[in-house]
Amino acid sequence: MSDIIRLLPDHVANQIAAGEVVQRPASVVKELVENSIDAGATKIELYIKDAGRTLIQIIDNGKGMSPLDARMCFERHATSKIAHAEDLFALKTKGFRGEALASVAAIAHVTLQTRRAADELGTKVQIEGTELVNQEPVQCAEGTNFEIRNLFFNVPARRNFLKSDNVEFKHIIDEFERVVLPHHDIAFRLVHNDQEIYHLVPGPLRKRIVDVFGKNFNDRLVPVTEQTDIVALDGFVGKPEAAKKTRGEQFLFVNNRFFKDAYFNHAVAAAFEHLLPSKLFPSYFLFLEVDPKQIDVNVHPTKTEIKFEEDKAIYSIIRSAVRLGLGKFNITPTLDFDRESEFDLPLSMAGQTPVVPEIRVNKDYNPFHVQNTREGQFSTGKSSSGGSSGFKSNGFSAALNNAGFGSQFQSASLDELWNTESVNQEQEEEKSIQTQIGAESVKSLGPFILKGSFVVGSVPEGLLVFHYRRGYERMLYDELMRGFIVNPLASQQLIFPMEKKLSKQEQLAWNEHEKTLSRIGFNWNWEGQELQISGIPEILDESTVLSCVDKILEQLQMGILDKGEIAHTVLSQIAFAGSMSFKIQDNQDAISGFISRLFEAEEHTFSPSGKRIIAQITNEELFQLF
């Protein structure tokens, strides 16, 4: 039998290696920008076309390469950054394994122009699929200029698996942000399809964060710093009120290298304990300085997973440092025994204008009149008109009957509300008191509006409570969805456009779903990064547009790609915003008509966001309150 094991040809081995290193255009951007940083560049320009499919060009003013180095850099495992195995435990650079350029050259058309400061002429190298096409002297600027064209030209299967340009460019933005944040002393420029996306100048870390994520971040950042023998920690965390439902702005760096670590993420989350509602995530930009001998970065092909020898100690340091930073800026709750609290306003009155209390006196009140005494109040179970004390409302009963609930939810008197056969003596006394208190006023209550949010009515089994704003939200959503399936929703044009500054990620998310958003009723133009909204869905009130857009963007950034899910997300946010100003008239006909319409909905127990609309309080639950 003949031997079957053989060495792979170099071009095949390079393509296999490329599959690990180059997963998409963003991978090329990461590797080449990191090489420019390692070369000592102080200015890096990145030009992208068609989200990297057609062109990725990176120009830097680093130290450049000699003619021999320009050719050798495309060989596998050729590197200038390590020479011995021990060097792996004292890494000061981004790349070190010598696989990036060889992998890129195996699946693209690559042109390299480079020149050192001491050389009069530079070198030009052209490679196509690991094959050297040309190398010659050339006149060029000091530094290095890489052009990567036709990515995956010889691996069509990998090219076919790439996502849309918006999605792929979003990944490029992700990698770009992870590089520019720790290197805020370097100037960066990013241009996509001849449109400038970023133009970042050197400056402090806080300025770089604001330049990348927008001016509104300046007021959200809380500085965090800690110096220990194990780790030096520096950076910023976002204030609790700026937390989002997505993990967008969460960055961890060690020795200026981005990495992912769920354990350290939990440390930050633990520091925000009791400061954030569930399912909200804080923003943070934390930089760790650790002795390179105490970490291992060579555990993942993309070098985004790192092992720490002192991970438990670092966890505690991160948690305590973030907690201390929040405390210093009065974010966390504190106890101050020296502070005068007599003039503190209740939380419910925050933001209200103080009003001088008004004293009202009933001049006709006579404490000795029998009807104003306790005995007089409880002397009869009948009203002056002889009416029953139950919740009587023919309209409410009819609404429930029309909804298909039959006699189960018919309005009942208070005598029927209490189960007299199963109550003890104490409950009998309570029943007697309840049926005698204000019979005349009780008669006019059912159904009634409570606290401006609920409709309450009595039924034989107890009380039925409706959250009517959420009910209206459900009806509005169903109506919008029915219309959306058939035709685009009506749009109302604004006299003066509304302006909203978006981050790059938000802009990409909005553009990715522009067809769906336009069909729903939004019209807009772009002025740089500023979204100028000229038309809104007809159902929306102008006062709720910007808050609705915020919630839509938050949902879109979660990675929802299915058009049906996008429509549900956007329409549910529009229905929520449109329901905020809804008020129901406090009369029996209006309430009964509303309930009838609510029960016509296929889903009438939960709002589009999954919150309860209807609840029942049973007689047993009522008895337990007393």
At residue 83, the pLDDT reads: 53
- Asked which of 7-16, 219-228, 361-370, 461-470 is least confident by mean pLDDT, the reply is 361-370
At residue 330, the pLDDT reads: 63
* Domain positions in the chain: 10-200, 205-328, 388-469+585-624, 490-538+542-579
At residue 341, the pLDDT reads: 46
Closest CA to 615 of 453, 414, 422, 430: 453
pLDDT averaged over every residue in the chain: 77
CATH number of 205-328: 3.30.230.10
> What's the rounded mean pLDDT across residues 603-608?
83
At residue 50, the pLDDT reads: 93
At residue 185, the pLDDT reads: 95
pLDDT band at 338 (very low <50, low <70, confident <90, very high): very low
Q: For 458-510, how does the pLDDT look when each residue is reduced to its tens digit (9 = 90+)? A: 777 778 788 888 888 888 888 888 888 888 888 889 888 998 888 887 888 88
At residue 243, the pLDDT reads: 85
pLDDT band at 378 (very low <50, low <70, confident <90, very high): very low
Q: Provide the β-strand partners of residue 615.
A: 465
Closest CA to 292 of 137, 89, 438: 89
Q: How far is CA 136 from the centre of its chain?
A: 51
Task: Pick 603 or 586 by higher pLDDT.
Answer: 603
- CA distance linking residue 202 with residue 370, whole number of Å: 84
At residue 59, the pLDDT reads: 96
> What's the rounded mean pLDDT across residues 336-356?
53
CATH number of 490-538+542-579: 3.30.1370.100
Q: For 543-557, how does the pLDDT look when each residue is reduced to its tens digit (9 = 90+)? A: 778 888 887 887 777
Class of domain 10-200: alpha beta
At residue 44, the pLDDT reads: 96
At residue 187, the pLDDT reads: 96
Answer yes or no: is pLDDT of 208 > 50: yes
- Asked which of 366-375, 402-411, 444-453, 462-471 is least confident by mean pLDDT, the reply is 402-411
Answer yes or no: is pLDDT of 400 > 70: no
- CA distance linking residue 457 with residue 448, whole number of Å: 7
At residue 41, the pLDDT reads: 94
> Do the two domains 10-200 and 205-328 of this chain adopt the same fold?
no
Task: Pick 376 or 563 by higher pLDDT.
Answer: 563
Q: How far is CA 14 from the centre of its chain?
A: 39
Answer yes or no: is pLDDT of 324 > 70: yes
**Reading across the β-sheet that carries 221-227, which strands appear in turn?**
221-227, 232-238, 284-289, 250-254, 257-259
Residue 264 zone, left/alpha/beta (φ > 0; ψ -120 to 50; rest)? alpha
% of the chain exceeding 70 in pLDDT: 73
